[in-house]
Chain A
Amino acid sequence: MTLESPHGHIQARRGYARRKASSTVMLILTGLTTTLALIPLFWIIGYVVYQGGKYIDWSFFTQLPRPPGVAGGGVLNAIEGTVLLVILSSIFAIPPGVLAAFYAAYYPNTPLGIAVRFSTDVLSGVPSIIIGLFLYAVVVKVQGHFSALAGGMALAILMLPVIIRTTEEMLKLVPPALREASLALGAPEWKTSLSVVLPAAANGLITGFLLGLARASGETAPLLFTALGNEYFDFAAQVRSGLASGQNPFAILAGILGQPVDSLPLTLWKYAQQPYPERTHQAWAAALVLMALVLSTNIAARLWIVFRQRRMKG
């Protein structure tokens, strides 16, 4: 790296020019690797939109699957199943996640606080298929059948670390003075947390929830042995037949939660492996819907936080 050369000024300058040139080459290379990494992104999005767009139509969203090899039909079962699983997993993951995050954010140095943050880190690294195995052992095997309930719980465990971590970070961003003012006025801690701190952190929390939902709705592996898949799942028909036989709403709900359901990623996985061209076409259409769902949720979450930050600054 030294500029002092025994052979004089000109050689030093030549050496410097060479070093400068190699520096420029390496810097251009870093730009090229960035471009290289982004090629698959546009390739995948472009190809899925092109292929999926060809095969998507109205019946894709409104009809149940036809038997393999028969053209037409849709994936209504999978769309309803995805919605059901996402709602279930939000119910299971958001309230406990937020409560645990409150503890981790306000008692970070207690043994339990350290343990919570530590296990959140570990949980986010556990392969999703292992979570499927776990739920199979503790829910499916005990109940004796695959169910939407087990699938929802599996997705909830995947969402949990995302929710705890973002909630904890957002709670820490709320100025302590707000919380102290509320406590000083005599408000109990729970009331302060729920009606002062939580609303102040709400924007960040929504981002975290959306990112968690995006992750959960694209997952397949934990559903393989929990929700399993169900080509005949039809929410409206279930409700109608339940009402016709005079069941109360809770019994109908229990019936729906207790049976296997399909989801878009699960359907996509099964269809991609089948030799029928109709199924392959529908797999592309399912990929388009799934990707649109996941990526738009993701983008919405990020735009939301940028938009709020800009408004706060301005």
Chain B
Amino acid sequence: MINKSRTPLSVLGKFRKRMGKSLHHGDRVWQVLTISMGICVLLLILSIGWTLWQGSVDARLKFGLSFLLPTLDASWNPVLDKFQAWPFIYGTLITSAMAILLALPISLGIGIFLAELCPGWLRLPLGWMLELLAAIPSVVFGLWGIFVFLPAVVEPVGSVLGHTLGSLPILGSLFAGSIPVSGASRLAASMILTIMIVPTISAVTRDVFLAIPHSQREAAFALGATEWETISQVLVPYGLSGILGAVILGLGRALGETMAVTMVIGNSIEGTLSLLRPGYTMSSVIANEFAEAVSPLHSQSLIEIGLLLFVITLLLNLLARFLVWRVARRAPQQEVRG
């Protein structure tokens, strides 16, 4: 690991000759530098929060709670300067919830496959492929979504869902109406989000399974359990809080995702709840309108949406870290399988 030509000894010898007695003078500077950079990172988080809080002060005072409350005929009117964020909050919540619902079984399957079944030589390449999927830029997902995925997958799936589930009593309101020909809808956003968060959730799930002590599996096998019974009745309950942490991390990513969602969700405020209709999310309304906000109150309202998004993702992250940390702490070190 160490470069032979640069052993500490030779470096130090030369250095000592040059510096003589004032050898430790730089240390104070080094300490101040590292400490101040550490403080900067902390200040960065605080100042992001503070800036968003300060930047939305008028909107918060003027609209109060009515800004956030659920209504079906919410107004977002830059001309009259009257803003209510419910359509965006609903859009973000429903698309993220759907994405989690679709991504969870898939990611769980991948995590189990990678940790428990997959032959050793395949584990690394498969892991890399998932990470490549996570690394594809969001705009490329959006472009592919508009021209390929929406017409080929979302539109047919959407019309089938509309015909079959649309007439159900309560669930039907989620599948009411008909999907636009372009496929741009909340369903499209949910499906694109699913593809984007599967790598995140499955990577953490895999790590959770790998961290479960081997003795747990052996005990279940010794009792006569089949492989699937071992996984579903022993390993999943054991790693449950870690899996929950993975889901929350994925949820955080889905809530904040901007570009791909903005490109496929259709960006319109309708009074419907339907997944098959175009919608809007918190991040996509900021992306679309902030640069061209017409009045100070308009941009303040957008910043307030940003503040809300910041607080939600902050809380979710804390919760996820806590859950994953709890599992990691419980797993004894020497029993971890590599």
Contacts and interface: CB of A to CB of B under 8 A. Distances in A.
Given A33-B106, A174-B1, A294 B48 contact: no
A31 B143 contact: no
Interface in B26-85: 26-27, 29-31, 33-35, 37-42, 44-45, 47-48, 51-52, 55
Contacts of A47: 144, 148
A37 B41 contact: no
A195 B8 contact: yes
Main DSSP-derived SS at the B contact region: helix
A239 to B, nearest CB: 29
Among A113, A133, A193, max chain B CB count under 10 A is at: A133
A24 B226 CA distance: 9
Contacts of A127: 255-258, 283, 309-310, 313
Interface string B19-30: 000011111011
Contact of A228 (B41, B291, B310): B291
Nearest to A293: B137
A32 interface: yes
Interface stretch (B122-130, B211-219, B271-279): B122-130
B106 A295 contact: no
Given A103-B35, A137-B51, A27 B227 contact: yes
A126 interface: yes
A81 interface: no
Interface stretch (A60-68, A69-77, A117-125, A244-252): A117-125
Q: What is the size category of the interface that chain B forms with chain A?
A: 35 or more
A33 B109 contact: yes
A96 B37 contact: yes
B12 A185 contact: yes
B37 to A, nearest CB: 4
B136 A294 contact: yes
Contacts of A30: 109-110, 112-113, 117
Contacts of B313: 125-127
A269 B12 contact: no
B332 interface: no
A142 B130 CA distance: 41
A186 B140 contact: no
Among A129, A193, A290, max chain B CB count under 10 A is at: A129
Interface of A: 1-3, 19-20, 22-24, 26-27, 29-34, 36-38, 40-41, 43-44, 47-48, 96-97, 99-100, 102-104, 112-113, 115-116, 119-123, 125-131, 133-134, 136-138, 157, 160, 164, 174-175, 178, 181-182, 185-193, 195-196, 199-200, 214-215, 218-221, 224-225, 228, 265, 268-269, 272-273, 280, 283-284, 287, 290-291, 294-295, 298-299, 302, 312
23 contacts: A27-B117, A37-B195, A38-B130, A40-B133, A41-B136, A48-B140, A96-B37, A99-B38, A123-B44, A123-B45, A125-B249, A126-B45, A129-B258, A133-B303, A175-B1, A188-B30, A199-B2, A219-B138, A220-B139, A224-B290, A228-B291, A272-B146, A295-B132
Interface of B: 1-3, 6, 8-9, 11-12, 15-16, 23-27, 29-31, 33-35, 37-42, 44-45, 47-48, 51-52, 55, 105-110, 112-114, 117-118, 126, 128-133, 135-144, 146-149, 195, 198-199, 202, 223-229, 231-233, 249, 252, 255-259, 263, 283, 286-287, 290-291, 302-303, 306, 309-310, 313-314, 316-318, 321
